[in-house]
Amino acid sequence: CRKEHTADKGGIEITSDPVESGGKVQFAVDRLREPFVVRFHIVNKGTDNVHLTYYTALHRIHTEDFFSAFRNERNKLANVHKFFLFFFFCLFFPPGASYEVEVKYILNHYGYFPATMYFEFCPDLPGSVPFCIVREIEAAAHTPLAVELGPVAPYKPFRVAAYKPVDTIIVDGVPPDRTNPMLNAPFTSALTSRGLLSCPLKMKNYSHRFHLLLHLEEIQMEVDIRKYDLLNQTMTQDQGNRKLLKLRVPGVAENRPSVLRGDCLRVSKSEDTVQPITVYTGYVHRVELDSVKLGFSKKLLQIFISNMKFNVEFTLNRYPLKLQHRAVDLAVKHQLEEVLFPSGAAVASVPMPKLRSGAYLYLENNPEQHAAVQRIVAGSSKPAPHLVFGPPGTGKTITVVEAINQVSKADPSARILACAPSNSACDLLCERLQVNMDSHQIYRVYASSRDPNSKYCNWDESKDSFVPPQKEVTMKYKVVVTTMVTAGRLVSGGIPVGHFSHVFVDEGGQAVEPECVIAIAGLLDAEKGQLVLAGDPKQLGPILRSPLAIEHGLGLSLLERLMRHNSLYQKNTDGHFDTRFVTKLLRNYRSHSAILKIPNELFYENELQVFADQWERETYCNWEYLPKKGFPVIFHGVMGKDEREANSPSFFNVSEIEVLIDYLTKLMETQGKKGLPKLSATDIGIIAPYRKQVEKIQKALRFVPALSRWSDLKELKVGSVEEFQGQERKIIMVSTVRSSINYVKMDRDFNIGFLSNEKRFNVALTRARSLLIVVGNPVILKKDPTWEKFISYCVKEKGYTGFDFGDVEEEDDIVSRLATLKINMDSECEYSVSLSKTAADSRLDSCMSFSPDFRLYLLS
């Protein structure tokens, strides 16, 4: 369809200066606010008379930025137009005649400004049908930084291999040391009754139902992973270890596909066609940004030569799934009914203890937090779990940390397991625990794929690697911190049931129930153990692939299930929670009220109260670069381009990075002046939804000399929303990247990006204490109702700056014009449209969003 539109036809030929390629005229504008001219030469090379009936530009650039002049061959100015209007006239084109259209670009901002030129012609013959020729224009204004960050190679997507059943011989490879061999057991369960899925979850059907849901999820994962299979790939010998082969896997850093150390891939030589085909399994020894290092059998290494082509199949890592299957079985075996389906019957009345002095005893200023810690120390909900829930920044993690501290002080024999779904959340727990507890008492257990950053952990210096936690060593520590999945290793390692008197789970809303149960079943005593779950169901939840598993409740965390379906955790008739079981926190100690306003309105019924320290939250209220003093939120509108490079599927947007770097430089220049505090790189966090953008931002941080004045620049955290869940920074910058509407569906399908994901929006926008800067394309983001609220709020409060998208009102003018027109499209489509106002609205709205392909699609 696009080719059809951009093709010359009817004898008319359109060339341009700068020269177009494939219907696209691309050029860079060196200086802002200076005109750049694109010339279109229209020649009738045919034998018939033709009329140019109208031409127009579809775009959203401010009218002052873009206008055209129309000249005939004697260079006389025929017409000067400002675009954003449709031009109707009838220009006679006899054979051999030529005209020139000049389009002048004046860019006021750095960024990427696309437009589509649309010319319509009609042959001068009775009954003839009009036709159109389209040219796309892409104007870009970039700083040297953007040039440095631009694509290293044009994007070339990987070809998806079609599945063909073949007869194979498998040659096993060499796994890395200490890989748990408990992987890839055969898929056993028979998918039985639908009834099992439709009846309510009970202890009786607990394991069966979760086995079934987990298998449904696994089937979908199997289907999804096939999409990443690769054809005709070469591998290289690793320079450091010649026994390993390196394979490029673009997207691996973004879990597309998800590959971890110890996983295995299957490769076969592309030239092998005679069956049975030999398939070599390679074990992943190391995952890098866009490649993996694989250990194969000698048999492959002996025949390996460079440039040898391979077909590659990814396989699913079943380890976390197997642990979840085992956990739900153990839950039944160890009769955890009063923990997972508490009735409250066995709850004893216990006195509230007096708390000992501790680092976080400022919790005394908050009666809910203080009481929660007391109740946890007393074990007042036992054996039922105690839930701590509340919106962002209300001190859930601090309450958990202080409760751990107080429990360990009150009972020297207490042994505590502290878990969270992600490593970053576990690291935060460790960091905060160490404020008040002796580091010798805390043991951080890492999975083998992690870098060590804690002194007391399962890192073996002599082996330069993580080792499985030794039972005797682990049991000596008062507090063990690990992710829920890695907690499964404690069960495998033989830590006895009841060793841990307490299990604390932070960010409990982020894990599916069987994942959470890994840290409980086989570890916690069903009667004497105390489980504490903290989290916020409105923040990031579990990531699942199977629509069927989601439909039947696998997406519900244990925390959320208890809150929704168990009366102990619901408000009683007087509208209050039973505080023996539930603590609801509502005082936000983190952020300025302007930062919280929209999330509070959208997700928390305005219940959230601002309690953050006044000096801290208002630190940036007078910053000279705020669009409005007193409102420490900036939405900086950027007309960027979401690009990809080489064959990585991940996106980046250099125009947004330029703006981020500009703000960072301004923050650096102004720190310590005019009442602003000195800043360290750890005070700032940058959130981006795609791995490539994270990588490019990190590169930009190294590129800008001014920023090297921050000696701890490496500590400036750049990461995904998932990596920021539970975290906070004085200043948070968010780069939304998305600038083309036609990638939005992809975001939804792969569960990436910011759009169409309220929870990600909520987490990203509630991390800042005193300054929040969001950089993005308002026109695209506004299509999402949540973002539309936030952007309108920023505009209304005068926190909006950057590219002027205020022309949207003017669209109404065009829409009304359109509405009155009968538009004849090209002969292929052969339809005349009389647009109604509403139809025109939606058509034009879509036309005006920046994707050229999409606009062309609509035109057709």
Ligand X SMILES: Nc1ncnc2c1ncn2[C@@H]1O[C@H](COP(=O)(O)OP(=O)(O)OP(=O)(O)O)[C@@H](O)[C@H]1O
DSSP 753-817: SSTT-HHHHHHHHT-EEEEEEEEE-HHHHTTSHHHHHHHHHHHHTT-EEES--TTHHHHHHHHHH
Instruction: Give the residue with the Cβ less far from ligand X, 520 or 540.
Output: 540
Cα 586 to Cα 263: distance, rounded to the nearest angstrom: 43
Q: For ligand X, which is the closer residue by CB, 390 or 649?
A: 390
CA atoms within 13 A on the CB side of 117: 28
In the complex, least distance from residue 794 CB atom to ligand X, rounded to whole angstroms? 22
Residue 371 Cβ vs ligand X, minimum distance, rounded to whole Å: 12
- Residue closest to ligand X (Cβ): 395
- Of 397 and 458, nearer to ligand X (C-beta) is 397
Q: Are 328 and 210 in contact (CB under 8 A)?
A: yes
**Distance separating alpha carbons of residues 653 and 642, to the nearest angstrom:** 5
What are the strands, taking DSSP E only, across 332-394? 386-389
Q: Which is nearer to ligand X, 623 or 724 (CB)?
A: 724
The three-state secondary structure class of 104 is strand
Q: For residue 389, give the nearest of 533, 293, 228, 195 by alpha carbon.
A: 533
Dmax (CA) for the chain in angstroms is 100
Least distance to ligand X, CB of residue 308, Å:
49
Report yes or no: 724 and 764 within 8 Å, Cβ to Cβ: yes
To the nearest whole angstrom, how small is the minimum distance from the Cβ of residue 724 to ligand X? 9
Supply the minimum distance, in Å, between the C-beta of residue 512 and ligand X. Answer: 19
Closer by beta carbon to ligand X, 369 or else 824? 369
Give yes or no for a contact between 733 and 693, defined as CB atoms under 8 angstroms apart: no
C-beta of 369 vs 851, nearer to ligand X: 369
- Nearest distance in Å: CB 331, ligand X: 27
| Side chain identity at residue 352, one-letter code | M
- Amino acid at site 488: G
- State the nearest-atom distance from the C-beta of 578 to ligand X, in Å: 21
User: Toward ligand X, which CB reaches closer, 53 or 593?
Assistant: 593
| DSSP label of 463 | G
Interface residues toward ligand X, by CB under 6 A:
362-363, 365-366, 369, 390, 392-398, 536, 589-590, 726, 728
Nearer to ligand X, 393 or 555 (CB): 393
CB of 536 to ligand X, least distance (A): 5
The least distance separating ligand X from the CB of residue 449, rounded to whole angstroms, comes to: 24
C-beta of 293 vs 730, nearer to ligand X: 730
Q: What are the angstrom distances between the C-alpha of 533 and each of 88, 385, 569, 756?
A: 67, 7, 12, 28
* Residue with Cβ nearer ligand X (64 or 364): 364
We find the least distance from the C-beta atom of residue 332 to ligand X, in angstroms, to be: 32
Burial grade of 264 (CB within 10 A; 0-12, 13-18, 19 or more): buried
| Residue type for position 849 | S
> Cα–Cα distance between 373 and 378 in angstroms, integer?
9
Question: Which tokens belong to 798?
Answer: 């005068």
Nearer to ligand X, 432 or 641 (CB): 432
- Nearest approach, Cβ of 357 to ligand X (angstroms)? 15
- The least CB distance from residue 383 to ligand X, in Å, is 25
Q: Amino acid identity of 523?
A: L
Shortest distance, position 181 Cβ to ligand X, whole Å: 36
If the CB atoms of residues 182 and 435 are measured against ligand X, the closer one turns out to be 435
Residue ranges in 61-103 assigned as alpha helix (H): none
Please return the burial class of 304, using the count of CB atoms within 10 Å of its CB with bins 0-12, 13-18 and 19+: middle
Q: Which is nearer to ligand X, 393 or 522 (CB)?
A: 393
Between CA 90 and CA 308 the distance in angstroms is 61
With beta carbons less than 8 A apart as the criterion, state whether 542 and 722 touch.
no
- CB 286 within 8 Å of CB 245: no
Residues forming beta bridges with residue 417, ordered by sequence position: 480, 503
Burial class from Cβ neighbours inside 10 Å (0-12, 13-18, 19+) for residue 188 reads: exposed
CA distance 118 to 110: 25
Q: Which is nearer to ligand X, 245 or 442 (CB)?
A: 442
How many Cα atoms within 13 Å fall on the side-chain side of residue 79?
Answer: 16
DSSP helix/strand/coil, 545:
coil
| In the complex, least distance from residue 726 CB atom to ligand X, rounded to whole angstroms | 4
Shortest reach from residue 284's CB to ligand X, in Å: 32
Q: How far apart are CA 398 and CA 362, in angstroms?
A: 10
Q: Which CB, 589 or 623, lies closer to ligand X?
A: 589
Give whole-number Cα distances, 385 to 36, 354, 503, 516, 537, in Å. Answer: 67, 21, 9, 13, 16
Q: Specify the residue, 114 or 390, whose C-beta has the smaller distance to ligand X.
A: 390
843/780 Cα distance (integer angstroms): 15
Would you tell me the crossing angle of helices 808-820 and 837-847 to the nearest 10 degrees?
130
In whole angstroms, how close is the CB of 391 to ligand X at the nearest point? 7
**C-beta pairs of 789-798 under 8 Å, 24+ apart in sequence:** 789/598, 789/601, 789/602, 790/598, 790/635, 790/761, 790/765, 791/635, 793/597, 793/598, 794/633, 794/634, 794/635, 795/635, 797/594, 797/628, 797/631, 797/633, 798/627, 798/628, 798/631
588 versus 650: smaller Cβ distance to ligand X: 588
The minimum distance between CB 193 and ligand X, in angstroms, equals: 39
